[in-house]
Amino acid sequence: MNIDLSGRIAMVTGSTAGIGEAAAAALAASGAEVVVNGRNPESVAATAERLGGRGVTADVGTPEGADAVIEQVPDVDILVNNTGVFAAQPVFEIPDEEWLRFFHVNVLSGIRLARHYTPRMAQRGWGRVVFVSSEAAIQTPTNMVHYGMTKTAQLAVSRGMAQEVADSGVTVNCVLPGPTLSSGVLKMWADLYPGLDVAEQERRFVADGRAANSLLGRLIRPEEVAGLITYLASDQAAATTGAALSVDGGLVPTIFP
């Protein structure tokens, strides 16, 4: 399969590290003009230069940040809503402020941008919107209920938007990664398993943690999630919309997608 995104403009929020950076790189490699987004100007500039794209520094978890992105980039063909936060906290100890912060960053960031870009895609007759959700959307993590709540909300938002732009040439989908190897995870492992190499840290984490049921026996790599995102952004995925597609290594014990 040859995915050619030449002539398409693709925006990936939160794209200076992890899944976002890998998605931006994969889209650029397929020919798209990539818009890199993040909150750190130096990281945004460096990533955009490396990928041959352009950078927009803004916190899309705020209305002002979303407005700044839209002002600088009025139209895109592909929108990947990747920005998100996560943290572990006992559910009965999470204050209102944290519930709201997680909802603003993880859910409203994507809604704000999709609300602007998706109708314009429909007017042009082609577009792709991808929400980066999580397997936590369908099996709530006990120690991150507020995170799981936002990921479940993304599924409803994505499906509803897909229905709104039915028969327009625009698709809206979610991807559901499992635990993914990122810089943040590596920092956490350094604290949990000091002195061990990454392979041994990963083995212990899988055995002890939420990834214990993975059929791969390891964490997902950002590039593996990026591969699914790139497919959903392509012409080849024209018949896939309103869906939630798993890329969790078989972590969720179900035969349904």
- Domains of the chain, each with CATH number or no CATH: 9-179+221-247 (3.40.50.720), 181-219 (no CATH)
**Whether 231 is catalytic:** no
pLDDT in the model for residue 210: 66
pLDDT in the model for residue 229: 98
Please identify every stretch of the chain with a pLDDT value under 50, giving residue numbers as ranges.
none
pLDDT in the model for residue 149: 98
Complete DSSP assignment for 130-160:
EEE--GGGTS--GGGHHHHHHHHHHHHHHHH
Check 117, 147, 193, 231 and give the catalytic one: 147
pLDDT in the model for residue 109: 98
Please name the residues in contact with 30: beta carbons below 8 A apart, sequence gap of 6 or more: 3, 4, 5, 230, 233, 234
pLDDT in the model for residue 11: 98
Sheet holding 244-247, edge to edge: 54-57, 33-38, 9-12, 78-81, 127-132, 170-177, 244-247
pLDDT in the model for residue 27: 98
Asked if 1 and 165 touch (Cβ cutoff 8 Å), the reply is: no
Residue 11, amino acid: M
| Rounded distance between C-alpha atoms, residue 115 and residue 96, angstroms | 26
